[in-house]
Structure 1
Amino acid sequence: MTRPITLAHPHVGDAEIDAVVRVLRSRQLVQGSEVAAFEAEFADLVAGRHCVAVSSGTIALHLALRAYGIGPGDQVILPSFTFGATAHAVAHTGATPIFADIDPETFTLDPDATAAAITSSTAAIIPVHLFGHPAAMDRLTALAAQHGLAVIEDAAQAVGAALGGTSAGAFGHAAAFSFYPTKNMHAIEGGMVVTADDQVARRLRLLRNQGMPSRYEYELIGFNGRMTDVCAAVGRVQLRSLPSWTVRRQAHAAILTEQLHGVVTPPVLPDAVHAYHQYVIRSHNRNALRQQLAESQIETGIHYPTPLHRSPAYGQPADLQHTEQAAAEVLSLPVHPQLTQSDLARIVTAVRR
């Protein structure tokens, strides 16, 4: 029987299991020494910025917005072509998400469309480094500086990505990462907020822990956004393997790009390092192609079939041509590190057929 090829393959090895057992036996389970060590080690990926570990990528983005005072009356510009959490984090602050169109090549926020969306109520921009390709951060940060806006990077899919030698997450005022099981590295579940600002980092640490600088002292109204030491221990193990896993993803992507025909393969812009959280092709015959791959026991994904501006939760009328086209054509193929050369050959054969 043909072995199925899955779209994602979360890695759980002996090292991860041993780390979990070690923490459970220590009985130090939440926001302890493992969390502190994970934060310190993750900082090496983001130019030594402050790292604040939290319970999910969604919470990471929400707390970053809160830490910069985003709230009712504010508008925040973001792409409609992204996972719902990007907009939800904005909405939960009381601010209004404003959707702008994407670059048709990278699927990331288009700077010209962003500039056109700025109003007197705009307070922040959220560039999403979608699928592992960095957004046009040079132009977006310059635009934000011109208008006095905060830049909060959604780097949930971009650990290991870079642009011009700067890592994703080290461009804006703050950034949010996710460690959900299907990400390039996971921590069972969890997130990380990154910032270069000392006072913002302090505010983030208060916000994640009920606003308490010390037990039962409430300096501000906070949340329960703490990361467990179990999750942090797994994250630390995964972090050590991340460089080799990223290289494997990039090698697999190179093979697919070289050998696939009849579809549009993902470009990598000059000076960009693509982390390939997803390997996303485009096809006018997506549904037929997806069915062909399914018959070959190859799992695929559509990220994302309904742009957020058309979802019932938001329902904003908007003319986002590139967003609509991408939603109708994109298809994610397996690219994870556990693929074999035989798996890649099967994917190529099925797509060509």
Structure 2
Amino acid sequence: MSDACIDLPVLRPRLPRAEALLPWLKRIDEAGWYTNAGPLHNKLRQRMAAHFGLEPDCVTLTANGTLGLTLALQAQRPPAGSYCLMPSWTFVATAHAVRQAGLKPFFVDVEPETWALSPTSALLQAAGAPGPVGAVAVVAPFGAPLDLGAWDRFQEASGLAVVVDAAAGFDSLKPGRVPAMVSLHATKALGIGEGGLIVTEDAALSAEIGARSRFGFRGERLATVDATNAKLSEYAAAVGLAALDAWPETREAWIALRRLYEKALGGLRGLQFAPGLSGVAASTMMVTGRGDAADMAEDLADQGIGSQFWWGSGCHRHPPFRDCPRAALPFTESLAERSLGLPFHLDMGEAEVERVAAALGRAQRRVAA
């Protein structure tokens, strides 16, 4: 079935409406400041810091999350050309960021209980790398909470650079010293269109990331390190501030939608949610008991319901990364065949969730027949 026949899409982003943006846009007009750490940028930084329980100098706003990941790796100065141990089970932006940071991906498997790396598994799998490992990229799958304290201890003991891709972790991330990226893409629980932020308890590291996001400048027009332009504009900051104004209500709406799904899918056998689904998420990952997610997706589409393989078959299946070394990936391969993203957006209510549940039940019966 073509996408034109899908009347319940898997995703429908919701950003602040024009009337909510207008007061912030007027402030831009009044100040005549449009980028380069203007008043709205600084206010958004302060409010994001408060959200994560940090000081403002521990937060760096970036034009997008991928650039933020790249800069967070570069700021830790891992040896150029060394391997970055990372899960293949992630969105391909993580692998692009590793490459852009001058490192080589070494793909490893995730743990079945969490869909993520642990410090213990990272140490074990690093031994299989074909060369020196200089960094580890950790991924919080679909916003699931991670123990960053454990990764702080790992970094201190190993001496490796560590970065955390917590793209969907706006509501779940508890910062540590290792830098963590949160995406502000339109598809996230709190989105601004394009944007991201890096949080860390290490203010000196945050300053280094910030300098690398603005041409290497540190208060004067002198480039001190290799850098890029990853600054967040005042207009993007305006959207972020309007989104934060509405966050308490938005957060409750996400939680209510998740609860509707938990209730509606609770009676379907052979299905489970991705681990760590609690609080706020902007997507729902369903896992089937067998490798039949593709058949389920086709059947849902026949019923007018969209779905998505958010991470495809893993990064190692994408053409730019097929030649990268990798460990055995049995659980990643299994997840690729069994996981499917269901419709999950704030235009949905009880009727839409129940429609998805009923369609899943029919799809189960047809696939099993």
Q: TM-score, normalised by structure 1?
A: 0.89
Task: Determine whether 1:93 maps to 2:101.
Answer: yes
The alpha-carbon distance between structure 1 residues 59 and 255, as it changes in their structure 2 partners (threshold 3 A), is: same
Structure 2 contact 260–350 (Cα < 8 Å) conserved = no
The alpha-carbon distance between structure 1 residues 23 and 74, as it changes in their structure 2 partners (threshold 3 A), is: farther
1:127 match: secondary structure: strand
Q: 2:11 aligns with which of 7, 12, 27?
A: 7
In the TM superposition, what are the counterparts of 1:1-353 in structure 2 within 5 Å? 4-19=8-23, 21-22=25-26, 25-26=29-30, 27-30=32-35, 31-49=37-55, 50-119=58-127, 121-161=132-172, 168=173, 170-260=175-265, 261-266=268-273, 268=275, 273-283=278-288, 284-315=291-322, 316-353=325-362
Structure 2 contact 143–170 (Cα < 8 Å) conserved = yes
Q: Alpha-carbon deviations, 1:182-205, whole Å to 9, x = none?
A: 111112211111122222222222
Structure 1 contact 158–277 (Cα < 8 Å) conserved = no
1:124 match: secondary structure: strand
Q: TM-score, normalised by structure 2?
A: 0.85
Q: What is the letter of the counterpart of residue 25 of structure 2? A: V
* Structure 2: distance between partners of 1:172 and 1:151: 10
Q: What is the letter of the counterpart of residue 314 of structure 1? A: F
1:170 match: secondary structure: coil
Structure 2 contact 148–174 (Cα < 8 Å) conserved = no
Shift of 1:149: 2.7
Equivalent residue, structure 2, for 1:164: none
The alpha-carbon distance between structure 1 residues 294 and 17, as it changes in their structure 2 partners (threshold 3 A), is: farther
* Structure 2: distance between partners of 1:156 and 1:131: 8
Shift of 1:24: 5.2
Cα RMSD over matched residues? Answer: 2.4
Choose 58-67 or 146-155, whichever is displaced more.
146-155
Shift of 1:215: 4.8
Equivalent residue, structure 1, for 2:367: none
Unaligned runs of 5+ in 2: 363-369
Q: Name the % identity.
A: 23
Structure 1 contact 78–127 (Cα < 8 Å) conserved = yes
Q: What is the letter of the counterpart of residue 42 of structure 1? A: M
* Structure 2: distance between partners of 1:54 and 1:183: 15
The alpha-carbon distance between structure 1 residues 140 and 2, as it changes in their structure 2 partners (threshold 3 A), is: closer
Shift of 1:279: 0.7
2:78 match: secondary structure: coil
* Structure 1: distance between partners of 2:110 and 2:6: 39
**How many aligned residue pairs are there?**
345
Shift of 1:147: 1.7
